[in-house]
Structure 1
Amino acid sequence: RLNMFAYWLYLFGSTIAVGGFLTPEGAADFGWFAYSPLSDAVRSPGAGADMWIMGLALSGFGTILGSVNFITTIICMRAPGMTMFRMPIFVWNVLLTGVLVLLAFPVLAAALFALEADRKFGAHVFDAANGGALLWQHLFWFFG
């Protein structure tokens, strides 16, 4: 059930992000990296940018849940007698990818929620006057 929920979050998040292209103002004007001075509500108005940000956050949350499911399955639900060192290399790759996702995606999701708070509520997290533009770049490229 967790993997199904993760899939639906990923699907709805990507649908919301792509749906931003259909808004009257068009898609997000700040590119795929959403650098902070370009992604505020003044320089990139409209619902397309908000849909892109929240769609990516939902997709990222779905990916985090899927990763938790894979890691839990690999560690706790192996067949009897199947030790960690008898597992195929593909399972090791899935486990390592899941750990990397758990390290990187929460940072990106938190940064996206903070970016949306900047746009909608004026939170000044990524305000250029306070060095927030560099903070966004560090958080975004930690994911990349």
Structure 2
Amino acid sequence: MPASSPSPSRRALLTALPALAFAGPALAAPPKRMTAYKTPWCGCCGGWIAHMRQAGWTVEVVEREDLAPIRAQHGVPDRLASCHTAVVGAYAIEGHVPAGDVDRLLSERPAARALSAPGMPAGSPGMEAAGREPYTTVLILNDGSTRVFGRHNGT
């Protein structure tokens, strides 16, 4: 600091502290919240929900007898369907998508409507008891086309 510059006074620093404290929470990451729609009788969905909660997500669970209207509302075609559908922001998360893929989706924010792990791949979160198989997660773009988003279990 040059000799001619006055050093900040203690009073000036104490006056600035409330503003700095107020700015702190604004810089924090937004809460990780989603709503998961599942049928009342599916057990593996609970495993996926536990996986997401362990990864820091707050998951509100809504049980429905028929998930087809939820998938249709979010542009998830039947060929990419699974046993549960979650919604986070503008995106649907279809099936046993790993938490890391959901985090990446929200970080990158691609022009897409959903992310899907079609079917119920063995070894995906919530499906560990079924064994282990290679699988991909698929991004469903706004125009309805798809592209591979993630590869898991050695794909």
**TM-score, normalised on structure 1?**
0.26
Pick the structure with more helix per residue.
1
* Structure of greater Rg: 2
Pick the structure with more strand per residue.
2
**TM-score, normalised on structure 2?**
0.25
